[in-house]
Structure 1
Amino acid sequence: MNFYQRIQELAKKKGVSFKQIEKELNYPTNTLYNYKSKDPSGQRLIELSKYFGVSIDFLLGRKDNELVGLGKFIDELNRRYDDVISLSFMNSDFFGFCIVIEEIALNSLRIALGTNMTSEIISEYSSTGFKRQEYLSNFKEQIDDKTLKALEIPHLKETILEQEKQIASKYFV
């Protein structure tokens, strides 16, 4: 897959058009389309890498799948969500569920940050439990209802992913 095909695929996954990307990144019209026949500059590679949350090596086709930074965090959190949540949900009350979410998010953060993970980040991230309880409070009644499964609660997963992204975004520049 060449560079043009990669950005085409990433734009489709993100649900945006080339025109939207060009507008958001202040690129001249048809900049992305022109990559069908020419290579991007180093600066554009960096900008597009950050925009899509993937490595430059991935954009250039040197690696098959490598998310970096916040994109890697969200991908890892999303991957772990279905397995862990469905297993722990039925044995948990609201506060127990919040703790499970924190553990999943913290482990995802460890994977995304790798060697940049510090004890200060762990401590600070763990101290955001009140934010977690706040954004999950809209779901408290459903979480405490033992007849439901976490995967059946509308918008729960999307809310968790979006809110944890906001909480963790400060650790990725």
Structure 2
Amino acid sequence: MTLFDRIKGLADKQGKNIKTVALDIGLSENAIYGWKKTKPKADDLAKVADYFHVTVDFLLGREGLEIINEPIDLAKLVDDRKVDWDKWVSFEGKPLSDDVKIAMKLILGKRLEDK
């Protein structure tokens, strides 16, 4: 499996296409497609790894899937300015609907108030 194949697989799991991923991380829309024939810069590869919460070694095929687990402060989840819900929270790899996000925020907010 190539670098491009790994990135494509991760994008597919999140319901995104390669162009969207590239633009989301500040690359040109065809940059990742170009990696089929050329090697990416290290900092661009790190951006992709951070975006998908995997290691650069995984993208390069040096190890199995390793998701980087970062603790998320639940109090921040109720504030859209602090957490990108579409990036951090999903169900079976698919983004949550706006209704579900609102319900979760209301539940989390109430639970945090009850502490």
Please give the TM-score of this superposition, normalised by the length of structure 2.
0.60
Residue equivalent to 2:6: 6
Determine if the alignment matches structure 1 residue 43 to structure 2 residue 43. Answer: yes
Q: Which amino acid counterpart does residue 38 of structure 2 have in structure 1?
A: K
Q: Shift of residue 66 of structure 1?
A: 0.7
Give the unaligned 5+ runs of structure 1.
71-108, 110-124, 132-154, 164-173
Q: Shift of residue 37 of structure 1?
A: 1.3
Cα displacement string for residues 78-130 of structure 1 (whole angstroms, at most 9, x for unaligned residues): xxxxxxxxxxxxxxxxxxxxxxxxxxxxxxx5xxxxxxxxxxxxxxx6xx6xx
Provide the rounded CA distance (Å) in 2 between the counterparts of 1:39 and 1:28: 15
Provide the rounded CA distance (Å) in 2 between the counterparts of 1:26 and 1:45: 12
Residue equivalent to 2:84: none
Please give the TM-score of this superposition, normalised by the length of structure 1.
0.41
Q: Shift of residue 29 of structure 1?
A: 2.4
| Alignment of structure 1 residues 24-173 onto 2, 5 Å | 24-70=24-70, 109=71, 159=104
Q: Shift of residue 69 of structure 1?
A: 3.2
Q: Shift of residue 19 of structure 1?
A: 1.5
**Bigger helix share:** 1
Provide the rounded CA distance (Å) in 2 between the counterparts of 1:45 and 1:33: 13
Q: Shift of residue 3 of structure 1?
A: 0.5
Query: How many residues are matched?
Result: 82
Q: Which amino acid counterpart does residue 24 of structure 1 have in structure 2?
A: D
* Superposition RMSD in Å: 2.8
Structure 1 runs of 4+ aligned residues shifted over 4 Å read none
**Structure with the greater alpha carbon radius of gyration:** 1
Cα displacement string for residues 6-43 of structure 1 (whole angstroms, at most 9, x for unaligned residues): 00000001111112112212211210111111221110
Give the unaligned 5+ runs of structure 2.
79-99, 109-115
Q: Shift of residue 45 of structure 1?
A: 1.2
